[in-house]
Amino acid sequence: MRLQNESMTTSSLNLANSQDPILIHLAELVADIRLAAPQLQFLLVGAAARDLLLFYAHGTKTGRATEDVDLALAVADWNEYQELRDLLVATGHFELDPQVAHKVLHRRRMEVDLVPFGGVELPDRTIAWPPDGDWVMSALGLREALASSISVLLPLGQKIDVVSLPMLLVLKALAWADRRTRERGRDAPDLMVILKTYLDAGHAERLYSEAEQLSSAGKFDYESAGAWLAGSDARILLRQFSADPEQIE
């Protein structure tokens, strides 16, 4: 595990004994990816990560279910990304989406978005999809999210790296800023649920040991205190794992 501040977030999560069909499907997805590309580094982000960290870990209702899975893939270049897609299809468990370049269908029941980052990023931390490069997507925060990820044990003996809750907050904030006008209502609800339930996600005791000034305030508000702690944790992770920590105030 890469995190240095163990009080901030757990380094792992054990869901191996769950019989939930969604977690079993996720484990099958991980197994099929490992079969096709054993050395690939990938990270669970998006709504599926939200549900693992809040609902499955702490019983927190997240407000909306998702059957999609978002995976961020660390690749050297676009050739590696294309080779990976070909390897997945060759297993017989994946089908390409003819309309969306980064989407595949796993075992005809789970849509999976495969978002590359790393060697495909431009200097401004965006990616421009080939062949024309006219579809541009932000990859900002994905390197940091992988570096600060937590390890989750799934059924069927599978393990996956998952974005930590503070870094999921960062990714959702960046996504909201990037697409709030064209995809209304997609990211703001997730931002809200993380901020409102952060203390209940294993951080309540820290309120008194690390944020005493909030718990002793005259007009104390539980959810606002959790939001403050979430932002503080996100700042710490960004300063620790960002390539330009001096730019983070």
Question: Does position 18 have pLDDT exceeding 90, yes or no?
Answer: yes
User: Is domain 12-247 given the CATH code 3.50.50.60 in the classification?
Assistant: no
Q: 205-235 pLDDT, tens per residue?
A: 888 887 777 766 667 888 888 899 999 999 9
Q: Which of 23-37, 107-121, 231-245 has the lowest mean pLDDT?
A: 231-245
Q: What is the pLDDT of residue 4?
A: 38
Question: Pick from 172, 161, 219: which is nearest to 195 by CA?
Answer: 172
Q: 44-69 pLDDT, tens per residue?
A: 999 999 999 999 999 988 876 667 89
CA 204 to each of CA 4, 21, 63, 98, 143: distance values in angstroms, whole numbers, following the listed order: 20, 30, 21, 46, 28
d(CA 15, CA 48): 14
CA 238 to each of CA 55, 204, 229, 243: distance values in angstroms, whole numbers, following the listed order: 25, 22, 14, 9
Question: Does position 162 have pLDDT exceeding 60, yes or no?
Answer: yes
Question: Does position 1 have pLDDT exceeding 60, yes or no?
Answer: no
For 229, the token pair is 């702690």
Q: Which of 86-95, 143-152, 221-230 has the lowest mean pLDDT?
A: 221-230
Tell me which H or E stretch contains 209: helix 206-210
